[in-house]
Amino acid sequence: MENLNLSDDLDLENALQDENDEDEQLTPAEVIELMEEAWLNEKFAPEILPHKFDVVECLLGQITYMEDNIQNLESKDFRKTIHQLEVDRLRFLVCSYLRTRIEKIEAYCNHIMKQESERISKGEDQYLTESEFQFLKDFIQSLDSHFEKVTSFTVVTEDWKSQPVVPNVHSFVFLKSKQEVEGVIIDDGRNDENDLVDLDKGSQLIISYNSVANLIKKGDVHLI
Amino acid sequence: MDPDEVEFLGEKQYISIIPTFSSNVIHLISGDVGPFRPSIPIRVPFWMAMQLKQQRICKIEPPEWMEVDKLEAIKEDEKNSRTFTKMPSDHYMVEAKILLASATDDIPRADEIRTIIKDIWDVRMSKLRSSVDVLVKNNGSYAAVDNLTLMEINSIRPLLPHALDTLYRLKNSITGGSSQSQSTTTFSRSTTSFHS
Amino acid sequence: MFGEKACDLIKELSRAEDNLPAYNTDLVTEVGNEIKVLIEKNQEDAQISEDSRASDGLSYISTVKIRHAAVKRNFRCLLAYHYNRLKCIRTMRWEFGSILPADIKVNMSATESEWFTKYSRLMTQYMRSVGEEGVNLWVDLKPPKALYIEVRCLVDYGKFELNDGSVIFLKKHSRHYLPRSECEELIRQGVFYHIN
């Protein structure tokens, strides 16, 4: 129950945060920073995280813009190789991030579908972008039709979705705190008297993911 | 995490180079670098420095900590401290690896430096192993890993997280499977800090 | 014994580890037949117990339950077999690209080849929808190091056109200094060997 209340508060704070963000223009360097953070978070979080497509789109825009400019440089110009390498590095970052999400969508397709459907029916923000959600639906459909074909000899309707593969949200992760956070509740597998831990800015910890999932989504800490 | 990816993150650190060419400011997406004038040191990202070095149009200025005396001091501190000391750079290993591979000619006493850095790494790794041992034996459910660098953290991944996962499962199956609460109290819920 | 063949199917797959063993049509059919027989028998028994409800109908219940459990288990094994094969095929799509080596292709069933094509199409659709110009996630699997790399050609490949329009001739044992991005797929296909 405590977790539930906590997450409601967080959503509210996130919403307020978003409004503030719109007033400030991020520099490209800050966008890269956000992308790196999102990449690492997605890489190490067992479950799929809320998408960061504003960051992705912004960075892809920068990349495209730069590539157009590179065209105008002479191929012997040493600056061309430098710009090209930077573009390649950033493209890797974005692509690796997107790939990680696709991998999770595939691995936990039915579980994610269930969660997303719940979010939709509750009117909450979806974690997947529109195109990711489309991919999810198509992917599930492709498995459905494959399984249907290979089990066509029988009328048994044992649903392959009845025991979906789910992420282990208790798995251990390394994090770095971006600010002071008080009273993080440690889930150590018992319900009684959970330990509390305070985080200083910059402190690093190994801890179970579900103890800090909300802090990651809120952006108070990031995974390393 | 692929070690290449740890390196990838380390390569965005800045390093000082001494160019042998002239150029105006280069507007990178990650920020402007330059202008470049021969013999005037200027800071650029590592990946860029390596590119220029490859084209033989710059010399690398080693980071100020990459000196035998300073590294010896760091090594001593590390040996004498029970906890992990703060490294001069969050990516000291990546930086050392790249520079010692591609810019040896720009680093005085490169061989000695290579040895000391390896020593520092070894001291920290053995400390890390014994901390992990204590953590697992005490059945801790979290631990501080302050001052560990990304490369070091990556070296105990996925082993440590997996070990803790397994412990958690065992603990849970005992708590869940047995109605005798007595049996669970033998598992003390102590927390081990890696640096306290 | 019920479920034995299904278990063999799983064992076969797990022995192959990361490789894709030949699709075992025979064994899949046999497991399917076992399921069919079990269901038929259960239906018969259900009919009998329905007819003789008053007298000894009870005695069939345990038999029916066991058969049902066997059906469920067989079914899950079939699903696991097919699902894990798809996962393997998916990995190969990422490793080898849209054209799979012949020795892997022969091990796939017609339905699996169909899924392979469908999966490629789904990914392409998704990749097109990202950003304004779309992204290509199939490439750049590793962080970029240098723009150009040295490769050795392992087969007589013939003509190869580069993005800039120039054509090179790839002969076995020949060495080339090429843009990394254009070599990646050929390296994965085993045409090139990346010389470090």
Q: What is the CATH number of domain C4-128?
A: 1.20.58.1030
More confident residue, B44 or C158: B44
Residue A8 lies in a domain: no
Q: Are residues A152 and A178 in the same domain?
A: no
Q: Which member of B8, B51, B54 has the closest CB to residue C143?
A: B8
Q: Are residues B50 and B82 in the same domain?
A: no
Buried b (16+ CB within 10 A) or exposed e, A144-169: eebbeebbeebebebebeeeeeebee
B61, B79, B109 — which closes off a domain? B61
Ranges of chain C whose pLDDT falls below 70: 1, 49-59, 146-147, 164, 196
Burial of B52 (0-12, 13-18, 19+ CB in 10 A): buried
Cα–Cα distance measured from residue A154 to residue A159, given in angstroms and rounded to the nearest whole number: 13
What is the reported pLDDT for A12?
Answer: 43
What is the reported pLDDT for A55?
Answer: 94
Q: Are residues B53 and B71 in the same domain?
A: no
Cβ contact, residue pair A78, B142, below 8 Å: no
Number of domains in chain B: 2
Cα within 13 Å of Cα(A186), Cβ side:
21
What is the reported pLDDT for A193?
Answer: 62
Helix (H) or strand (E) holding C158: strand C158-161
Mean per-residue pLDDT, B130-136: 87
Cα–Cα distance measured from residue A83 to residue C63, given in angstroms and rounded to the nearest whole number: 73
Question: Residues B29, A28: contact at Cβ < 8 Å?
Answer: yes
> Which strands form B14-19's sheet, in the order they lie side by side?
B42-45, B14-19, B58-61
Q: Are residues A30 and A92 in the same domain?
A: yes
**Cross-strand bridge partners of residue B17:** B42, B60
Cβ contact, residue pair C146, B54, below 8 Å: yes
Whether the CB of C196 is below 8 Å from some CB of chain B: the reply is no
Q: Which member of A29, A87, A204 has the closest CB to residue B145?
A: A204
Q: Is A43 helix (H, G, I), strand (E, B) or coil?
A: helix
User: For the domain that residue B48 is a member of, what is the CATH number?
Assistant: 3.40.5.50
Q: Are residues B174 and B88 in the same domain?
A: yes
What is the reported pLDDT for A1?
Answer: 34
Nearest residue to A39 via CA among C66, B153, B115, C143: C143
A146, A166, A186 — which closes off a domain? A166
User: For the domain that residue A223 is a member of, what is the CATH number?
Assistant: 3.40.5.60
Which residues are within 8 A (CB) of A158 and not within 5 positions of it... i.e. 6 or more apart?
A: C72, C75, C76, C79
**Per-position DSSP letters for chain B, written without gaps between them:** --HHHHHHHHTTSEEEEEESS-B--EEETTEEE--B-TT--EEEEHHHHHHHHHTT-EEEE--TT-SHHHHHHHHHHHHH-SSPPPPSSTTHHHHHHHHHHH-GGGSTTHHHHHHHHHHHHHHHHHHHHHHHHHHHHTT-S-EE-TT--HHHHHHTTTHHHHHHHHHHHHHHHHHHH-S-THHHHTS------S--
Nearest residue to C123 via CA among C84, C88, C85, C97: C97
Cα–Cα distance measured from residue B16 to residue B43, given in angstroms and rounded to the nearest whole number: 4
Q: Which CATH class is domain C148-195?
A: alpha beta
Residue C124, phi-psi category: left (phi > 0), alpha (psi -120 to 50), beta (remainder):
alpha
Token pair for C192:
């090139």
Confidence of residue B27 (pLDDT cuts 50, 70, 90): very high
What is the reported pLDDT for B62?
Answer: 94
Cβ contact, residue pair A142, C75, below 8 Å: no
User: For the domain that residue A126 is a member of, what is the CATH number?
Assistant: 1.20.58.1030
Token pair for C194:
């990346």
Q: Are residues A188 and A155 in the same domain?
A: no
Token pair for C142:
């590793």
Whether the pLDDT of residue B184 is over 70: the answer is no
Cα–Cα distance measured from residue C147 to residue A86, given in angstroms and rounded to the nearest whole number: 10
> Which positions in chain C touch B2 (Cβ < 8 Å)?
142-143
Cβ contact, residue pair C130, A60, below 8 Å: yes
Question: Residues C20, C88: contact at Cβ < 8 Å?
Answer: yes
A126, A141, A166 — which closes off a domain? A166
> Which strands form A204-208's sheet, in the order they lie side by side?
A221-223, A172-177, A204-208, B143-144
Cβ contact, residue pair A150, C135, below 8 Å: no
What is the reported pLDDT for A11?
Answer: 47
Q: Are residues A181 and A219 in the same domain?
A: yes
Cβ contact, residue pair B21, A78, below 8 Å: yes
> Which positions in chain B touch C140 (Cβ < 8 Å)?
none
User: For the domain that residue B148 is a member of, what is the CATH number?
Assistant: 1.20.58.1020
Handedness of CA A4, A9, A15, A18 (dihedral sign): negative
Cα–Cα distance measured from residue B181 to residue C162, given in angstroms and rounded to the nearest whole number: 70
Cα–Cα distance measured from residue B165 to residue A58, given in angstroms and rounded to the nearest whole number: 37
Q: Are residues A48 and A145 in the same domain?
A: yes
Q: Are residues B125 and B70 in the same domain?
A: yes
Cβ contact, residue pair B51, C143, below 8 Å: no
Residue type (1 letter), C131: G
The residue written with tokens 């819920």 in the block is B189
Q: Are residues A29 and A117 in the same domain?
A: yes
Q: Are residues A123 and A187 in the same domain?
A: no
Q: Give the range of the structural domain holding residue B49, as residue numbers without chain letter.
A: 1-61
> Which positions in chain C touch B4 (Cβ < 8 Å)?
142-143, 145
Q: Are residues A161 and A201 in the same domain?
A: no
Cα–Cα distance measured from residue C74 to residue C78, given in angstroms and rounded to the nearest whole number: 6
Q: Which member of A64, A143, A150 has the closest CB to residue C133?
A: A64
Number of domains in chain A: 2
Task: Delimit the domains of chain C by residue range.
Answer: 4-128, 148-195
> Which positions in chain B touch A90 (Cβ < 8 Å)?
29
Q: What is the longest distance spanned by two Cα atoms in chain B?
A: 77
A166, A197, A215 — which closes off a domain? A166
Q: Are residues B122 and B56 in the same domain?
A: no
Whether the pLDDT of residue B179 is over 80: the answer is no
Token pair for C29:
């059919």
Contacts of residues A21-29 at CB distance under 8 Å and 24 or more positions apart, as own/partner, are A26/A58, A27/B31, A28/A59, A28/A62, A28/B29, A28/B30, A28/B31, A29/B29, A29/B30, A29/B31
Ranges of chain A whose pLDDT falls below 50: 1-17, 19, 23
Whether the CB of B173 is below 8 Å from some CB of chain C: the reply is no
Token pair for B134:
């204590």
Same topology between domain C4-128 and domain C148-195: no
Give the pLDDT confidence of C110-145 residue by residue, as tens digits. 999 999 999 999 999 999 999 888 899 988 888 887
- Looking at CA atoms only, how far is residue C148 from chain B in angstroms? 11
How confident is the prediction for chain B on average, in pLDDT?
85
Nearest residue to B151 via CA among B60, B66, B90: B90
> Which positions in chain A touch B21 (Cβ < 8 Å)?
78
Q: Give the range of the structural domain holding residue A129, as residue numbers without chain letter.
A: 22-166
Cα–Cα distance measured from residue B75 to residue B72, given in angstroms and rounded to the nearest whole number: 5
**Which residue of chain B is at minimal alpha-carbon distance from A173?**
B161
Residue B150 lies in a domain: yes
Question: Is 0.90 surpassed by the pTM of this model?
Answer: no
